[in-house]
Amino acid sequence: MSDEIKTQSQTPENKSQEIALDDARRVKVLSPSMLVFKRFIRNKLAIIGLVILVFMFIFSFAGGLFTPYGQSEVFKGTQTIPKDYAGATFNDELRYIVKTGMEFPNSARSKFILAVNKGLLTFDSGDSLYGYSMEGDNFYKIYALVPKVTALLLAGQYAYNDPDGVLTADLQTAFETAISSGMDSFELNGAEYVVQKAGKAYNLCVSEDLALASLMVMDAYDNANSNAINSYEFRYASEKAISDAITSFTFDGNTFTLSTEEEKTIIYDASGAAYAGISNIIVNPSSSDEVLTAAFKDSVREAIADDTDRFVYEDETYFVDDVNSNYYITRNTETLLIRVNESPSSEHLLGLDGNGMDVLTRLMYGGRISLMVGFVVIFIELFIGIIFGGIAGYFGGVIDNILMRFVDLFNSIPFWPLCFIVGSVMDTLDMNPKFRIFILMILLGVLGWTGIARVVRGQILTLREQDFMVATEATGIRVNRRIFRHLVPNVMPLLIVQATMGLGGIIITEATLSFLGLGVKYPLASWGNIINAATDIYVMTNYWFIWMPAGLLILLAVLGFNFVGDGLRDAFDPKMKR
């Protein structure tokens, strides 16, 4: 009977029951780390968090190795856009054509405008005298007045001052007649004279052609004729013909004909070829690199006269936009532009951002920085917190009191205002973006270690009274070894849990600072400064693919660290498990 029982106990079924993982005898032989691992993997949320974190690390650190683009690579492409080509407006300021060899300074031009407004036919500027005649509508001929003879009436007789000896008997008679009749000018033997009153004296002046003033602008159809067209003589002959409504005039032995159409007049030479165009509409290129032909300007003027919004010149369409009597001429031009806010495509799976950079690539590189900042900051916090907390907890007394007051001092520092101040200083100094990251990590680490120090101190205050610490003291182990080789390792499970759960908060803090423009700066990418694009309401509502993926990655990363932290806490301390 005993042999039968022994045989049954050795059956495969009983043998498998003995080695089952949930068997009490099997659990007894598991190491503490194996027990923690078993409890951790049984937590479904912890496994989900671990999978999320693995994905984040692969996406951030391995993804950047396989993407064909760089995080700062800008994509450009040609696009047909309306581009300013020229501008046109009705001229409302007089333009001056000064005769060769003569001068008509700006001060004299101002006096001329005043004389026209006041209806005076003569004016002076400095020591010079001037006169003008109205040759047509807004067309004036200006001449210099040179005094030749001065007459002073004394006791009914004129006393003359004739330094050049030009006063003949006929000229004297005409001069006196003009004075008595109150005439401003007279003509004698084909010469024109001007009478100017200066107090009790009268000056007999000879006029010399000086300049023309007109609202018209003239363009040569052939640049070789520009000098002739813009000469005083040609401008006077052509504009005088227009004012007198005649269809031809002679200049330099050549006959020219005129054809007037609404806003422009075309002057043809003897062969019938277009020689010059004249109009009161000014047409100028938008760029100094462009040269506008007279034919193009004629087309613009025709479009303005016809009140049309487009015209064709040399098989190319131009568009006319009227803004407060200023006309802007544009044309569609192939231009190399940055491809901003481009929707997702097979080439760029998450599209392009406002700087023309691949969003997916920047998310990968941004993940590196966000995760790196999180781990470096938590390492700084652990390093400082363990040292201060370990020393304070082990020694207690006065040392504990001093170190805890130092912790309170750090807790009194306003975190966000200090971050804003440091960020503003770095902006003012125009600090290198890579160096900013190190400053940011140090700042977050130095301001965030106090919580860990308090946890370590509290745990060590409990552990230092246990038997194993009495044994270390009895064996003569140095104080630093007691703290960092025997006490701190017993606190590590709790620190691991706290560090894991704190990583999510650090990532959110970095993202917030970068979102506010105080953290990681362009051209470097982080998930926070990618979301910064959402500060533009138009981008936020129309280009979700730019900022939403970064927000989703931050959400997943924080959830992943929190899930893993909860799982580790339950694994290290199963009594905490609900």
Other beta carbons within 10 Å of 11: 10
Q: Rounded mean pLDDT of 270-281? A: 90
Burial environment of residue 528 by CB neighbours within 10 A (0 to 12, 13 to 18, 19 or more): buried
What top-level class would CATH report for the domain 36-73+349-576? mainly alpha
Q: Rounded mean pLDDT of 265-283? A: 90
Q: Of 86-90, 413-417, 446-450, 520-524, which has the strongest mean pLDDT? A: 86-90
Answer yes or no: is pLDDT of 357 > 80: yes
Between the CA of residue 71 and those of 146, 427, 518, 519, 528, what are the distances in Å? Answer: 77, 22, 20, 17, 15
Q: Rounded mean pLDDT of 109-138? A: 88
> What phi and psi values does residue 285 have, to the nearest 5 degrees?
-70, 150
Between the CA of residue 120 and those of 111, 117, 177, 239, what are the distances in Å? Answer: 10, 8, 22, 23
In the structure, what pLDDT confidence band is assigned to residue 456 with cuts at 50, 70 and 90? Answer: confident
Cα(93)–Cα(110) distance, rounded to whole angstroms? 12
Answer yes or no: is pLDDT of 198 > 80: no
State yes or no: cis peptide before 344, omega within 30 of 0: no
The answer to whether residues 378 and 451 touch, using CB atoms and an 8 Å cutoff, is no
Closest CA to 41 of 504, 563, 499, 489: 563
State residue 467's pLDDT score.
67
For residue 333, what are the β-bridge partners? 81
Cα(39)–Cα(368) distance, rounded to whole angstroms? 30
Higher model confidence: residue 25 or residue 280?
A: 280
Q: Rounded mean pLDDT of 243-269? A: 86
Q: Rounded mean pLDDT of 474-487? A: 74
What's the pLDDT tens digit per position in 25-43? 554 455 667 777 888 888 8
State residue 553's pLDDT score.
92
Burial environment of residue 302 by CB neighbours within 10 A (0 to 12, 13 to 18, 19 or more): middle
Q: Rounded mean pLDDT of 480-492? A: 76
Q: Rounded mean pLDDT of 424-432? A: 85
The full length of the chain comes to: 578
| Torsion angle (degrees, nearest 10) of CA 365, 370, 371, 372 | 90
In the structure, what pLDDT confidence band is assigned to residue 1 with cuts at 50, 70 and 90? Answer: very low
Q: What is the mean pLDDT of the chain?
A: 85
State residue 22's pLDDT score.
52
Under 8 Å CB-to-CB from 456, ≥6 apart: which residues?
385, 386, 388, 389, 390, 393, 488, 491, 495
Structure token pair of residue 178: 């003009």
Burial environment of residue 361 by CB neighbours within 10 A (0 to 12, 13 to 18, 19 or more): buried
Cα(56)–Cα(61) distance, rounded to whole angstroms? 8
What's the pLDDT tens digit per position in 121-134? 888 888 888 888 89
Structure token pair of residue 1: 């009977």
Answer yes or no: is pLDDT of 95 > 80: yes
Q: What percent of the chain has pLDDT over 90?
A: 24
Burial environment of residue 536 by CB neighbours within 10 A (0 to 12, 13 to 18, 19 or more): middle
Least confident of 382-386, 429-433, 483-487: 483-487
Domain with CATH 1.10.3720.10 in the chain: 36-73+349-576
The answer to whether residues 344 and 412 touch, using CB atoms and an 8 Å cutoff, is no
Under 8 Å CB-to-CB from 505, ≥6 apart: which residues?
558
Cα(492)–Cα(503) distance, rounded to whole angstroms? 16
Closest CA to 235 of 327, 135, 305, 163: 135
> What phi and psi values does residue 23 have, to the nearest 5 degrees?
-70, 135
State residue 5's pLDDT score.
46
Using the structure block, give the residue that is written with the tokens 């450009």: 76
Using the structure block, give the residue that is written with the tokens 């001060």: 107
State residue 578's pLDDT score.
46
Q: Rounded mean pLDDT of 194-211? A: 84
pTM of the predicted model, to two decimals?
0.60
Least confident of 26-40, 212-226, 356-370: 26-40
Q: If you count DSSP H runs as helices and E runs as strands, how many of each does the chain have, helices first? A: 22, 18
Structure token pair of residue 395: 């020694």
Answer yes or no: is pLDDT of 343 > 60: yes
State residue 464's pLDDT score.
73
